[in-house]
Chain A
């Protein structure tokens, strides 16, 4: 149950007895007032009911002995408990507590393999933390690199633009006169274009938008008329449908129609067959074997 039977020694405490008693009384009272929480059991020993001076002295001495400030024999040297049953019980309970605290302790056994488990988890946690640190550093490095590249690019562009402008200012003949360079320069590089002003551009865009508002809105005004025309069909009264004559009165006339329809075809076939026979006969008579 209790890990050690070590009781505090005066050397380890470093607080003298008077200070101890004062601290107990003052701190205890302050704490009691501030917290206002105390079990009913300990209230009998607490300062709500002020102890008589002799009992207070015994209780403080008891605490000092429990603190290790005084030897245990100091309890026996106090004559007050012999005449005070309450303090006698306190001393007896303190001795009982002393005896329990001084007993050889039943040390709770450490779980088997606890050390290996802890070391393994610590090493694994370190690896995870190291990986996280590496990843974080890589992100920071990449971010720094990107920022540096952006800054470098911006500076270079600024420098290039400035040097180009300076070159044009210092040598105006470059912009006006044709150099001896046989390759003709494009005109947009020679002539200096005015700088772009955002206000002007926005005003131009606004004018263009206002100018184009009429053709844009025109079809929109036509739309209701189209809609009226479309819906007018539904509201108009239905027109009388024309009556058509049937193509055939009945199916009885169909063989005659087929015969008359096929007549030219059969006549043509007969003529063609007759001509074929005639041609074949002519070939047989004219072609004689040798």
Chain B
């Protein structure tokens, strides 16, 4: 029996210590994914709580022959989608009050990170999910495919497109440093 299966078995017996262990094991990843996908700390906290409720309710349905983390992240992504859909239907009037601007002095790297974050936020939901899971949560293609419920090829396609859009946005914003290279004629290049 794997460590995941043992932990799940202990949780199913109603052991509060096992519940706490499970929460402590996945809370950071779940909260990070929620925070990145929702771009809202309070929403991320609420959704993290919902995700754990869902996890503990459906622990019996978990296939013990498969890894636990993609299953957990799949529930997380689904809850985030549901939350985003609900938020799109009922937009808050004073949403701007939630995110107060940070007036700390920023350097170039911070500006770049903010720019990339904005670019990631502008991606389509599917692209953003796979980008966050791949580059920020460090999940493999197979794990992401299981989490989002799509084939591996589709995940790769989405990730590919997400990167292309990001690179193009960085280029269009002029964030790519100019290179002092000599202009050499090239017949096959696009302008």
Contacts and interface: CB of A to CB of B under 8 A. Distances in A.
B181 A97 contact: no
The A contact surface, by secondary structure, is helix
B165 interface: yes
Interface string A112-141: 001101110111011001000000000000
Contacts of B45: 111, 114
A152 interface: no
B184 A82 contact: yes
A70 to B, nearest CB: 14
A82 B181 contact: yes
B136 to A, nearest CB: 5
B136 A2 contact: yes
A42 B164 contact: yes
Given A88-B179, A89-B176, A118-B48, A54 B167 contact: no
Contacts of A119: 16, 19-20, 23
B138 interface: yes
B20 A115 contact: yes
A115 B109 contact: no
Interface string A6-28: 11100011110000100110111
A283 interface: no
B32 interface: yes
A209 interface: no
B24 to A, nearest CB: 6
B36 interface: yes
Interface stretch (B50-58, B68-76, B82-90): B50-58
Interface stretch (B2-10, B93-101, B152-160): B152-160
Contact of B188 (A1, A13, A54, A115): A54
Contacts of B167: 45, 90, 93-94, 97
A116 to B, nearest CB: 9
B66 interface: no
Contact of A24 (B27, B157, B175, B179): B157
A50 B188 CA distance: 11
A110 B191 CA distance: 46
A96 B14 contact: no
Contacts, number: 178
A92 B138 contact: no
Contact of A27 (B19, B157, B188, B191): B157
B172 interface: yes
Contact of B191 (A3, A20, A38, A85): A85
Interface string B109-128: 10011101100000010000
Contacts of A101: 135
Given A24-B160, A27-B154, A110 B189 contact: no
Contacts of A83: 184, 186, 189
Nearest to B140: A12
Given A41-B169, A108-B35, A111-B45, A96 B138 contact: no
Interface centre among A15, A42, A123, by most chain B C-beta atoms within 10 angstroms, is A42
Given A23-B156, A85-B186, A92 B179 contact: yes
B177 interface: yes
Nearest to A25: B160
B112 A100 contact: yes
Interface of A: 1-4, 6-8, 12-15, 20, 23-24, 26-28, 30-31, 37-39, 41-42, 44-46, 49, 51-52, 54-55, 63, 66-67, 82-90, 92-94, 96-97, 100-101, 103, 106-108, 110-111, 114-115, 117-119, 121-123, 125-126, 129
14 contacts: A3-B136, A8-B138, A14-B142, A27-B153, A45-B168, A54-B188, A66-B163, A86-B189, A90-B167, A110-B31, A111-B45, A115-B20, A122-B23, A123-B16
